[in-house]
Amino acid sequence: MAPSSLSFSCACRAITGTITLPPSTPLPLALEICHCSSCRHSSGQLAISGFACPRSSSDGPPPLNITSKTQPVAYNTSEYLVRYFCASCGASVYMYVPETGDMEVCSGVLEGEGTEEVLKFKQHIFVEDSGDGGMSAWVEGPRWKGWGEKSEVFEMPGVKEAGEKPRAAEKEGGGERRLQAHCHCRGVEFYVTPPDEEEQGSSSVANDNKNESSQSQTSNNEKWWLRASNTKYLAGLCACNSCRLATGFDIQAWAFVPKTHIRQVDGKEVDFKMGTLKTYSHTPGTYRDFCGKCGATVFWRCEGRRGDVIDISAGLLDAAEGARAEEWLEWRTKVSFEECAANKGLVAKLSEGLKKWGDS
């Protein structure tokens, strides 16, 4: 029997609510993955996943009801779109279009297992903004340059030759290369520096742990975060419940970088109280940092277990080559915590695509 309503919540449950489905609602609902620059930098994600909140009529009110006492924080990415996120844990909850009254719900906040029964991936939109295709390289489906079928098909760029030396480890004009990163409102800005010569010359055990979760790594694996002869940082995708509920999206992309290689714009080592950063901690010794103004996920970090390696939310990165930042990062070809996925269909599609991408 088709559900008459859907429940949603953020990680800390400060925001909870329901979505009433009109009797005529066809299921599953269409799930879209957006790759636009605004979505990436206001969420911190490599791409965001969401679905249109169904309405009983074109002029009827959207059936989204916040049942908690706490209301989400509003952030205007433009005059056309308002985003709402939790002020406590940073989870993106929904987006609102003032002109039409339409609402787009972030897919990761849906409660219960088996969300693939009510949501089915339909298409990638605004892929052109990613430069390199972003996450659409791993999730097979229609890729549009702009807003769906109203725009043109996005053609994936060619793959670079294997063994090509990454510019990330090169010097330009006598200075060190920097990978800039920022949230949408720029309340949080920093940059990443490449592995230094000492790291590039050291041995790494990273390949022995290629498909393990970053959260399972320990300080005993001194160089697990390095790849490509220690000239790139490891990056990976996570489908765990913690990441899903704290971000509001089914798939979280992380880049794993030592704290000493993350710098504030003034050149000082990263400070987790800089700018508009806020911190959420659900488990003692484990922290998630997000922008308190626009809601972007920024860092995940923990005490002791992994030393000073920090997870950077990959959607914040501004690499010239594209959203995947492949001159700086090498992507793990397995999804961490795939077994925990709420939308198992979507994550299985991602897992299959990653494997094919790795094989090629």
* DSSP secondary structure of 226-259: EETTTTEEEEEEE--HHHHHHHSSS-EEEEEEEG
Average pLDDT over residues 292-306: 92
Burial class (CB in 10 A: 0-12, 13-18, 19+), 57: exposed
Six-digit token string for 303: 């005490």
* Cβ atoms of 129 and 35 closer than 8 Å: yes
Average pLDDT over residues 124-133: 97
Residue-level length of the chain = 360
- Tell me which residue of 290, 304, 332, 327 sits closest to 192, measured CA to CA: 327
pLDDT over 60 (residue 166): no
Grade residue 199 by pLDDT with cuts at 50, 70 and 90: low
Average pLDDT over residues 184-204: 79
pLDDT over 50 (residue 218): no
Grade residue 223 by pLDDT with cuts at 50, 70 and 90: confident
Report the 10 Å Cβ neighbour count for 268. 10
| Range picked from 173-177, 207-211, 216-220 for highest mean pLDDT | 173-177
Grade residue 340 by pLDDT with cuts at 50, 70 and 90: very high
pLDDT (0 to 100) of residue 168: 40
pTM across the whole model: 0.90
Higher-confidence position of 271 and 157 = 271
Q: What backbone phi and psi angles, to 5 degrees, belong to 39?
A: -65, -40
| Range picked from 48-57, 58-67, 126-135 for highest mean pLDDT | 126-135
pLDDT (0 to 100) of residue 162: 36
Report the 10 Å Cβ neighbour count for 255. 27
Residues whose CB falls within 8 Å of the CB of residue 40, separated by 6 or more in sequence, listed in order? 46, 47, 48, 129, 130, 134, 315, 316, 323
pLDDT (0 to 100) of residue 1: 62
Task: For residue 232, give Cα distances in angstroms to 8, 122, 193, 219.
Answer: 38, 33, 10, 19
pLDDT over 90 (residue 292): yes
For a pLDDT cut of 90, what percent of the chain falls above it? Answer: 71
CA distance linking residue 144 with residue 153, whole number of Å: 5
pLDDT (0 to 100) of residue 116: 78
CA distance linking residue 342 with residue 8, whole number of Å: 12
Residues whose CB falls within 8 Å of the CB of residue 39, separated by 6 or more in sequence, listed in order? 45, 47, 48, 126, 315
